[in-house]
Amino acid sequence: MITMLEAIRQALRDELAGDDKVVLLGQDIGDFGGAFKVTQGLVEEFGEQRVADTPISESAMIGAAIGAAMVGLKPVVEMQFIDFLACGYNQLVNFAGKMRYRWGQGASLVVRGPCGAGVSGSAFHSQSPESTYLCVPGIKVVYPSTAEDAYGLLRSAIQDPDPVLFLEHKFLYRRIKGEVGHQPIPLGKAALRRRGEKLSVITYGASSHTAQEVAEQFGDQVEVIDLRCLQPLDEACLFESVKRTNKVLLYHEAQKTLGMGAELSARISEQLFEYLDGPVVRVAAPDSPVPFSPNLEKAWLPGAEQLAEACRRLLAY
Amino acid sequence: MITMLEAIRQALRDELAGDDKVVLLGQDIGDFGGAFKVTQGLVEEFGEQRVADTPISESAMIGAAIGAAMVGLKPVVEMQFIDFLACGYNQLVNFAGKMRYRWGQGASLVVRGPCGAGVSGSAFHSQSPESTYLCVPGIKVVYPSTAEDAYGLLRSAIQDPDPVLFLEHKFLYRRIKGEVGHQPIPLGKAALRRRGEKLSVITYGASSHTAQEVAEQFGDQVEVIDLRCLQPLDEACLFESVKRTNKVLLYHEAQKTLGMGAELSARISEQLFEYLDGPVVRVAAPDSPVPFSPNLEKAWLPGAEQLAEACRRLLAY
Amino acid sequence: MTGEQLLQAYYFLKLNRALEEQLLKFYMQNKVVGGLYRSLGQEAISVGTAMALEPQDWVAPLIRNVGAFLVRGYRPRDLFTQYMAKATSPTAGRDCNTHFGDIQRGVVAPISMLGAMIPVMVGVGWGSRLQGLDRVGLTYIGDGGTSTGDFHEGLNLASVWKAPMVLVAEHNQFAYSTPTSKQMAITDLVDRAKAYAIPAEIVDGNDLMAVYAATRRALEHARSGRGPYFLECKTMRMRGHAEHDDARYVPAELLEEWRAKDPIDRFSQRLLEEFGFSQEQLSEQDQRVAKLIEEDAEFAERSPYPEGSRSQAQEGVFAS
Amino acid sequence: MTGEQLLQAYYFLKLNRALEEQLLKFYMQNKVVGGLYRSLGQEAISVGTAMALEPQDWVAPLIRNVGAFLVRGYRPRDLFTQYMAKATSPTAGRDCNTHFGDIQRGVVAPISMLGAMIPVMVGVGWGSRLQGLDRVGLTYIGDGGTSTGDFHEGLNLASVWKAPMVLVAEHNQFAYSTPTSKQMAITDLVDRAKAYAIPAEIVDGNDLMAVYAATRRALEHARSGRGPYFLECKTMRMRGHAEHDDARYVPAELLEEWRAKDPIDRFSQRLLEEFGFSQEQLSEQDQRVAKLIEEDAEFAERSPYPEGSRSQAQEGVFAS
Ligand SMILES: Cc1ncc(C[n+]2csc(CCOP(=O)(O)OP(=O)(O)O)c2C)c(N)n1
Ligand SMILES: Cc1ncc(C[n+]2csc(CCOP(=O)(O)OP(=O)(O)O)c2C)c(N)n1
Ligand SMILES: [Mg+2]
Ligand SMILES: [Mg+2]
């Protein structure tokens, strides 16, 4: 059993070892092993060329990764915190995301880094940026919740021909462990985490664990689906579930407004209207920055109680 | 009758004249009058200090506006095209948007500029960025569709204590005219453009005009609501409408995935489930960059035919 | 430059200019979709720098670098059809003007956001070196574009990584309507390079041979593992930002002064006077140019627009 | 500096250090929420620069500028409660460590993204001048932070607008684990300022009087309408990036060398030897410091955490 953090490192190592086109770049990722130590030891194994430290310049880092991808490399860019991707926003969204459509040349690159709240990181070390990169074309978004998935999905992300944003919830880094295989897991497949008959809870990332805990309280009523990938999205899996349970609750840590739940809700209302026996409910974070103090952060996070209460209400509907 | 572009200029002029804290900054906005000539003549009237040219540096422009707002000015930043706001993303989202929540100091500033497709501007001069700034906290988003609204809402936006993104559809600049008043129009009020009994089409921006044209084909069946402001949102107005018509169609030019329609759909499903007599339908642009060639762009844009067809289907549901 | 190269340079200079003159005709006939951006008076920079490249080098041209596309093997028709939004254009009508490229030819398509190409070409150079390839990445920036964050981040990264990369700064006095004096507090762009300890030199951008020679030095420096190189080409934008801009803000004397320094006139004169070429030899090239322009203009005119099916409009965002 | 100012500087230096020593205690007791960032060995920069400001000037301190907060009238309790996430902190527990400010005091709260404060303080200076106010905006940047796009865009804009703004670059040899040599190809940060024709000088950052004098010059320059000024303070980060970082990557000799240049030791010595202060006078200040630290530490410990209601957690994003 290894932690999610170790699983990510293992995926990077296996990719570096198996494909000499794979290179890593990031701040302090070499000798220092990165702020979270994800890349620890990799520079010793693969050298400074392939595990490259960069200056503090997120836009240049992503731009350089795009250029390197064009000449055939498969760069993996670490953001020290995913929040800092805001400083490289233009390169990712306007360069990487649009190039294949515009002139037929794609960029096979991964931007990865720690996201999410729950560790008192406050407003700039806790963000959940998935909507930001889902509401523009051209970027795949992967968000594992287990060590196994982190390993397998990261390997697929690195080999994927398109730009992938790989989100790693920092709360999970050392808190969950798993038996990690050796195989990539294809992008775009959701995981049914728990079978239930009356209500589908659709979730991803750290929230997937809370959802599973909560679902237990409801015997065989609540089904939990972990999306794992937000783009490409496994619509078939979640539609099948909703058709069966006829009720759906969307649960995530990102803000409610224009969070992933909004998109899922809209798709479900549009395509499964006749299957619905109740309103499509969202449980998500408020539309505010993430507060610092643990009590405030706890009140801010959409926690187990809030989810359980919403499940109860929806089941009773 | 003046054009929407003139109405925007008039609002800027009236604010500059009426409040000496108002200042404009942007590329080529002084002597040259801006790429679209929105600020033409203003530097002569108000001087280089208050109508300030800047170097090509969107991040610094927004940052400087934030600082100027802190010392009591009310800066209005022009983006030559709103697409270039991508280069100032971090300052707007992480600095301006979060400061009031974090330490109680807000930034009264407006970022404005031309957005939208339909003029063969291709991928980097045609974007509809509203979702990008709605899915993060702290930024108000205003999107007028008439000359009157452009005037009145821009005046309110400039006086608003919070950061406002003011979106001007470039297709409308010179194509629509209106009788413009002298009064600000408060933010957060939608406009009922056309009354109808069987279906509410909720829209905004240039799409509002298409929606009104299409609605005419359906006699008194189709109601058209123009949001005018996406944040703050006039939920009461649109909920009232949906409760009356029991069917709703969300129509906009921005991409479908995580477009404003997704959020509206989710709110409606969540809160008005029992009023719905049909699926909540979205008609929006595809999830791709905006193509250049007029034919392609036309096929890309969610046009009148597509909307009419969707109305027909939903009315018949 | 060999005699053959000189003649070739002459050909490309003329082709660049004739191409834009043809585009201007199309523009006046309303056949150009969107704005028309000219490189009038700056042709020596695109042609001179691109000719200095080795075949394995890569280039990322901007809007005024039509000459670089031509040197790199693109035809006038590629520019015509791009500007006219035809189905036969390199992007099949998906993107505009110079927004095209092809990695097989080592040409990277730009995005509009100024400065963005710099980090990307740093990555091209760096990524090539990692693979043991002898390849330099070259791109351009305007005086105005040097104010962007990407300019700074890109050059800093290039200098730290000693990336084989050459940046050609076209100092044409204006950024849209903004003169350099309102864009920066320095007068020479080379001063920007000091922030990165990147070797830099100023070159007369209207002197093709000087541009070529300086670019060779720059490439040689980059190729030898000593890192990036910065070239400031002094020149003048002889038209508005685009054809719809009458450039009233440009002092007439300034244009006058620079008209006398026209890069093509000067180069032709040197070919005749210094290098002993005959008028016939040049006329022969002019004829080649005229013929190609005519042929390609016709091709572009005959070309269809994209049909405009929804799938054409939407597909191809992802590989799968 | 007057005798009174010298004593005051001594007081703030010691307060800065004692405050962090108390924070370290809290940290060891697990009472600090999140990381603890120290300014050990760099105190003369924050204190010297902030003391040079006039009351109407504004400052935007970063994570290592605790001294600037103190000079500006904040108390140790403000830092303690911020670090401990208490309800009594300036942000009422909403944000962390030095992420607080108050425009009444001319103190701007930073965001984490390095470089971002620079354009903002350009706006503070520019916006003040537009209103006829005699005010300079001063902020800080680390060696690493000079690689960001905002550094470049901000300084360029400042220089073009001649904004009354002072940038203090703390060259403390490392950016997290990255030595300056891997951050940039230059050795002196002042070389960055050449790109903007901004006057710049290097100052011994561990010499409070030198820092103060240089900042006075810088402010005077900015105040007089001649535009921004760049000050590079050479110093050394004497701890890890944060307390959880053991900074193994820092050569022991380097620390040794800089320990001998401790800014407080040096300043004390000069006060005693050159300026004729007595040990008693200094001890008196030490006692003031100790008393205030004790009082405020107690205050912070006694302070409650925010209750954590949903409204506390969510509200206040917009004014209305
Ligand atoms: C980041 C960004 N901001 C604004 C623009 C709009 N824009 C396009 S060209 C231009 C002027 C460019 O001037 P310069 O870099 O000197 O190049 P030149 O046109 O003179 O060749 C501007 C402001 C842009 N393309 N990118
Ligand atoms: C834009 C951005 N990228 C990355 C980080 C993460 N980060 C925080 S501090 C730091 C090192 C800063 O070094 P320096 O600027 O030299 O300041 P010092 O810590 O030495 O005072 C880094 C990389 C950040 N805060 N902002
Ligand atoms: Mg220029
Ligand atoms: Mg440092």
Asked if residue D311 belongs to a domain, the reply is no
How do residues A89-117 score in pLDDT, each as one tens digit?
999 999 999 999 999 999 999 999 999 99
Question: Which chain C residues are closer than 8 Å to A162 by Cβ?
Answer: 318-319
Query: Ligand 2 centre from D15 Cα, in Å?
Result: 25
Q: Is B72 on the interface with A (CB under 8 A)?
A: no
Asked if residue C314 belongs to a domain, the reply is no
Query: Ligand 3 centre from C174 Cα, in Å?
Result: 4
Q: Give the residue from chain D lying closest to B72, CA to CA.
A: D127
Q: Which pLDDT belongs to residue A137?
A: 97
Provide the pairing of β-strand A222-226 with A191-194: antiparallel
Q: Which pLDDT belongs to residue C320?
A: 81
The nearest CA of chain C is from the CA of B313 a distance in Å of 20
Q: Which pLDDT belongs to residue D147?
A: 98
Question: Is C112 close to ligand 1, i.e. is its CB under 6 Å away?
Answer: yes
Average pLDDT, chain A: 98
Q: Which pLDDT belongs to residue A227?
A: 98
Task: Return the partners of chain D (3 or more C-beta pairs < 8 Å).
Answer: A, B, C
Asked if residue C191 belongs to a domain, the reply is yes
Q: What is the ipTM of this complex?
A: 0.98
Domains delineated in chain A: 2-178 (3.40.50.970), 191-316 (3.40.50.920)
Query: Ligand 3 centre from C52 Cα, in Å?
Result: 23
Q: Is D177 on the interface with A (CB under 8 A)?
A: yes
Question: Is C175 close to ligand 1, i.e. is its CB under 6 Å away?
Answer: yes
Q: Which pLDDT belongs to residue A57?
A: 98
Q: Give the residue from chain A lying closest to C159, CA to CA.
A: A55
- The residue-averaged pLDDT of A125-136 equals 98
Is A4 in a helix, a strand, or coil? helix
Alpha-helical regions (H) of chain C = 3-28, 43-52, 66-71, 76-84, 117-130, 149-161, 180-183, 190-193, 208-221, 252-259, 263-273, 279-302, 310-314
How do residues A32-80 score in pLDDT, each as one tens digit?
999 999 999 999 999 999 999 999 999 999 999 999 999 999 999 999 9
Asked if residue D318 belongs to a domain, the reply is no
Q: How far apart are CA B166 and CA B228, in angstroms?
A: 10
Q: Which pLDDT belongs to residue D320?
A: 81
The nearest CA of chain B is from the CA of D283 a distance in Å of 36
Helix (H) or strand (E) holding A248: strand A248-255
DSSP symbols for B108-129: --EEEEEE-SSSS--TTSS---
Contact state of C227 with D185 under an 8 Å Cβ cutoff:
yes
State both tokens at B165. Answer: 């993104």
Residues in chain D with pLDDT values less than 50: none
Q: Is B90 on the interface with C (CB under 8 A)?
A: no
Q: Is B121 on the interface with C (CB under 8 A)?
A: yes
Considering only CA atoms, which of A195, A194, A196, A213 is closest in space to residue A315? A196
**Taking a contact as any Cβ pair under 8 Å apart, which residues of chain B between 33 and 52 contact chain D?**
49-50, 52
Rounded to 5 degrees, what are φ and ψ at B71? Answer: -90, 15
Which ligand has its closest atom nearest to the C-alpha of D173? 4
Q: Give the residue from chain B lying closest to C96, CA to CA.
A: B292
Q: Which pLDDT belongs to residue A263?
A: 98
Asked if residue D42 belongs to a domain, the reply is yes
Q: How far apart are CA B304 and CA C108, in angstroms?
A: 37
Q: Which pLDDT belongs to residue C189?
A: 98
Asked if residue D310 belongs to a domain, the reply is no
Other residues' Cβ atoms within 10 Å of the Cβ of residue C225: 9
Q: Is A89 on the interface with B (CB under 8 A)?
A: yes
Q: Which pLDDT belongs to residue D261?
A: 98
Q: How far apart are CA B15 and CA A256, in angstroms?
A: 35
Smallest CA separation from ligand 2 atom 22, residue: D176
- The residue-averaged pLDDT of C211-218 equals 98
Q: Is B59 on the interface with C (CB under 8 A)?
A: yes
Considering only CA atoms, which of D56, D141, D145 is closest in space to residue D106? D56
Q: Tens-digit pLDDT profile for chain B (317 aa)?
A: 999 999 999 999 999 999 999 999 999 999 999 999 999 999 999 999 999 999 999 999 999 999 999 999 999 999 999 999 999 999 999 999 999 999 999 999 999 999 999 999 999 999 999 999 999 999 999 999 999 999 999 999 999 999 999 999 999 999 999 999 999 999 999 999 999 999 999 999 999 999 999 999 999 999 999 999 999 999 999 999 999 999 999 999 999 999 999 999 999 999 999 999 999 999 999 999 999 999 999 999 999 999 999 999 999 99
- Indicate whether A230 pLDDT > 90: yes
Is D138 in a helix, a strand, or coil? strand
The nearest CA of chain B is from the CA of C221 a distance in Å of 30
% pLDDT > 90, chain A: 100
Q: Which pLDDT belongs to residue B203?
A: 98
Contact state of D249 with A32 under an 8 Å Cβ cutoff:
yes
- The residue-averaged pLDDT of C267-275 equals 98
- The closest-lying atom of ligand 1 relative to the alpha carbon of residue B56 is 3
Query: Ligand 4 centre from C88 Cα, in Å?
Result: 53
Query: Ligand 2 centre from C80 Cα, in Å?
Result: 48
- Indicate whether C236 pLDDT > 90: yes
Contact state of A123 with D95 under an 8 Å Cβ cutoff:
yes
D134: CATH: 3.40.50.970
Q: Which pLDDT belongs to residue A162?
A: 98
Which ligand has its closest atom nearest to the C-alpha of C42? 1
The nearest CA of chain D is from the CA of C42 a distance in Å of 25
Contact state of C102 with A72 under an 8 Å Cβ cutoff:
no
Contact state of A103 with C94 under an 8 Å Cβ cutoff:
yes
Contact state of C131 with A72 under an 8 Å Cβ cutoff:
yes
Contact state of B262 with A257 under an 8 Å Cβ cutoff:
no
Question: Which chain A residues are closer than 8 Å to C121 by Cβ?
Answer: 67
Residue ranges making up the domain that contains C285: 3-303
Task: Return the partners of chain B (3 or more C-beta pairs < 8 Å).
Answer: A, C, D
Q: Which pLDDT belongs to residue A60?
A: 99
Q: Give the residue from chain D lying closest to C149, CA to CA.
A: D149
Task: Return the partners of chain A (3 or more C-beta pairs < 8 Å).
Answer: B, C, D
Mutate which of A235, A269, A274, A275 to test chain B, going by most B C-beta atoms within 10 A?
A: A269
- Domain count along chain C: 1
Q: How many CB pairs under 8 A join A and D?
A: 123
Asked if residue C194 belongs to a domain, the reply is yes
* A125 part of the active site: yes
Considering only CA atoms, which of B175, B207, B193 is closest in space to residue B1? B175
- The closest-lying atom of ligand 2 relative to the alpha carbon of residue D145 is 15
Q: Under a CB-based contact definition with an 8 Å cutoff, are residues C52 and C233 in contact? A: no
Question: Is C171 close to ligand 1, i.e. is its CB under 6 Å away?
Answer: no
